Amino acid sequence: MKEEAKTRRPPNPKLVLLVALLLPGMGQVANRMPTRGLMFVFYVILLAIVTYNLTTPGHSVIGRYSGGIFVYMLSVLDAYRWALHRYKTFGTGR
């Protein structure tokens, strides 16, 4: 059973990118890194709360949640980068 899990082909990076864009942290879960995905979700929420409390009601919605949005975009890039790396490594047989 464990050998079967080791030889499974990694998901297509474009699919991981789509999943990561739709749901925060799920790109990492698709890459089989659920702890990393949970950490990203935690920091998205944490920094969204911090920036919301540090801004005034006169700021736009994007400005009020900019910390969370920033970490969210980092999680999307991270998921895609890891998916691409794993996909290329699997394809070359390394």
Q: Give me the residue spans of the domains in the chain.
A: 2-92
Task: Give the largest Cα separation in the chain, rounded.
Answer: 57
Are 80 and 4 a contacting pair, CB within 8 Å?
Answer: no
Per residue in 12-34, pLDDT tens?
Answer: 999 999 999 999 999 999 999 99
For the stretch 35-74, pLDDT in tens is: 999 999 999 999 999 999 999 999 999 999 999 999 999 9
Backbone Cα Rg of the chain: 16
The two tokens of residue 58 are 């006169």
Task: Provide the 3-class DSSP secondary structure of residue 87.
Answer: helix
Half-sphere exposure of 84 (CA within 13 A, CB side): 8
Each residue of 51-84: b (16+ CB within 10 Å) or e? bbeeeeeeeeeeebbbbbbebbeebbebbbebbb
**pTM for this prediction:** 0.84
